[in-house]
Amino acid sequence: MSMTATLSRPERERPAIWFEAVVVLGVAALLLGGVEVVSQWRQPLRQTVEIDLSVRALPGYALLSLARGWIAYFFSLLFTLVVASWAFYDTRARRYILPALDVLQSIPVLGFLPGLVLALVALFPHSNTGLELSCVIMIFTGQVWNMAFSYYDSLCGVPADYRMLGRLYGFKWWHRFLKIELPFGAQGLLYNSMVSMAGGWFFLSITEAFKLGDQDFRVPGIGSYMSVAIERGDVRAQLLGVVAMGIVIVVVDRLVWWPLVVWSRKFKMDDFGSGRINQPGWQRWLARSRAMQAATRRIGLWLAPLSAVPGPPPASPLPAATTATASSGRTARGIYYLLLAALLGALAWGGVQLTSLLTRVSVADWIEILRNTGLSFLRVLAAVALGTLWTVPLGVWIGLNPKLSSRLQPFIQFVASFPAPMIYPWILLLVLRTGGSLQWGSVPLIMMGTQWYILFNVAAAASAVPNDIVSCAEVLRLSGWRRWRKFLLPAVFPGLVTGWITAAGGAWNATIVSEYVQIGDKLYQATGLGAYISRATNDGNFPRLAAAVLVMALVVVGINRSLWKRLQVFANERCRFLT
């Protein structure tokens, strides 16, 4: 009785009136921010955009960059849920979808960006909509692939008895999604969402400050602010940009990601309680806010019909239901063939255009591209290997210790989400001061953009390990290397392979900015495929750009199909709990 009284008394407490006012003002600020973003999209297109390096311009730039990141994340999440589910349930489509995701992940940002920007600017010649859309799509390409692979991997790992129970209770597809698939994949999807936001912001200074030859396609934002500050050698502005970006990352982590991490812990699938996760004080107060309670009640009433669980189906289905099922099956097949025809038509047109560009590439250029590819491959291999050495132990440690995770996540999220190219000039100067060069100094630069994929996937896999499995390892007194070999490595190996796949793809992308760094009027280059792509983009040489992007895509897809996918099949068959 005393325990009940102790727990119920704080729930009846209401925050002060000033806190209610803060909540209402926060909602109003979000609405006004949305209006400001829409007005920026509708402004007339200008030949050049002047970037203000003063302090007062930073809040507005931060708002615009944050809005682009979240708009891109919304479409990334929608794409992930739809495409990964399609690939899982449609065996015919899976043959095309998974290789297509491999190819798209392997295409570097600068492979998409020039053609995309020119096409969208031509489509919206009188407003900023084309440039803004190109920024959103480029951030989308930095976010979506690891989310799609992670969610598809979680769908493959849903226990068969869970799916059987869903069929016995007559679950429709949305019930199965809300009650089985999304809870099972929540932790992996959430951790990959965090690292996806980091991946999208990694190329922020490129997407917001893009130049093609003599053409300037900049848009206002923190990325363009830092790009201009680096060009002018304005150290004060660079520090202000770093501080502004840090504030944005910390606020988003505390207001969005950590509450979602706490929420996702309730979906851990085991036979023992996972323990109570302490919520931040502001979150408990926000939950008691009358305004928030009214809003959540409205949303709950709206979603109630979708989340209501149906009863068991009748013993013998009616003939009309069979007819309706057959009719819906024919409609789905028609939509499938229509989409497939449209995709094949687009691929045929793209193949013709690509062939036209490749015919203008000389034999000497092909030889140079292949030599540069070998050097970039060695850097990518070194970056992934070195990143694995420290991210796996730390990821396991974080995933198995929720209290430690709550303390370390703000720092890890800050470092992982920070757009590393913003501080590349400082790191490169440190490398040069120690007598190094960009030939090997590009490896730590690549690591800064890729090792987080491994860390977050391993942490997600470790946090999803059932408590009864952990207890069994303790009862057996597994310790040292035996504990790692028999328990920890098999437990996290599916997540580790997913992290390797996305980290390797991200590493090839990172070579573009890691092998080609400009500080003021000085340009530092390493011999590699990434630097070759950056030079071709700056020169507006589309044949060389197409050839280099094609080679990079073929190399990444070849490695994925010959190595990573085999490891993924092994991990799903031999190292998966609850299957």
* Per-residue pLDDT, 326: 53
Residue 379 has pLDDT above 90, yes or no: yes
* Per-residue pLDDT, 529: 92
Q: Is residue 559 part of a domain?
A: yes
Q: Is residue 38 part of a domain?
A: no
> How many CA atoms lie less than 13 Å away from 442 in the CB half-sphere?
28
Distances (CA, A) of 200 to 311, 343, 395, 416: 43, 26, 22, 11
Q: Is residue 283 part of a domain?
A: no
Residue 366 has pLDDT above 80, yes or no: yes
Q: Which of 19-33, 37-51, 198-212, 506-520 has the lowest mean pLDDT?
A: 19-33
> What is the average pLDDT across 359-381?
93
> How many CA atoms lie less than 13 Å away from 496 in the CB half-sphere?
24
Question: What are the tens digits of pLDDT across the range 545-555?
Answer: 889 988 988 89
* Per-residue pLDDT, 6: 39
- Kindly tell me the sign of the dihedral angle through the C-alpha atoms of 187, 451, 153, 189: positive
**Encoded tokens for 489:** 């490595």
Q: Is residue 527 part of a domain?
A: yes
pLDDT confidence of 233, banded at 50, 70, 90?
confident
Concatenated DSSP letters of 389-405 = HHHHHHHHHHHT-HHHH
Length of the chain in residues, anyone? 579
Q: Is residue 33 part of a domain?
A: no
Q: Which residue has the tokens 């390096």?
A: 53
558: nearest Cα among 99, 92, 91, 94: 99
Whole-angstrom distance, CA of residue 450 vs CA of residue 512 = 13
C-beta of residue 507 within 8 angstroms of C-beta of residue 384 = yes
Residue 252 has pLDDT above 70, yes or no: yes
Determine which helix (DSSP H) or strand (DSSP E) holds 217, and give its type and residue range.
strand 215-218
Model pTM? 0.72
> For residue 495, what are the domain limits?
46-269+353-574
Rank 3-17, 270-284, 480-494 by mean pLDDT and report only the highest: 480-494
For 233, phi then psi, to 5°, come to 70, 25
Question: What are the tens digits of pLDDT across the range 158-184?
Answer: 888 888 888 887 788 888 888 888 888
**How many folded domains does the chain comprise?**
1
499: nearest Cα among 153, 260, 256: 153
For 216, phi then psi, to 5°, come to -110, 120
pLDDT confidence of 386, banded at 50, 70, 90?
very high
Q: Which CATH number does the domain housing residue 132 bear?
A: 1.10.3720.10
Question: What are the tens digits of pLDDT across the range 327-350?
Answer: 555 665 677 677 767 777 877 887
* Per-residue pLDDT, 304: 58
Three-state DSSP at 312 gives coil
pLDDT confidence of 8, banded at 50, 70, 90?
very low
Question: What are the tens digits of pLDDT across the range 32-58?
Answer: 777 777 777 777 877 677 888 888 888
* Per-residue pLDDT, 262: 76
Contacts 24+ apart (CB under 8 A), 253-256: 253/409, 253/410, 253/413, 253/414, 253/417, 254/280, 254/410
256: nearest Cα among 182, 197, 183: 197
Q: Is residue 482 part of a domain?
A: yes
Axis crossing angle, helix 58-89 with helix 129-156, rounded to the nearest 10: 40
Share of the chain above pLDDT 90, in %: 9
Question: What are the tens digits of pLDDT across the range 425-446?
Answer: 788 888 888 877 888 888 988 9
Residue 504 has pLDDT above 70, yes or no: yes
Residue 2 has pLDDT above 60, yes or no: no
What is the number of other CB atoms lying within 10 angstroms of the CB of residue 306?
11
Question: What are the tens digits of pLDDT across the range 60-85?
Answer: 888 888 898 899 999 999 999 999 99
Residue 578 has pLDDT above 50, yes or no: no
Q: Is residue 373 part of a domain?
A: yes
Q: Is residue 337 part of a domain?
A: no
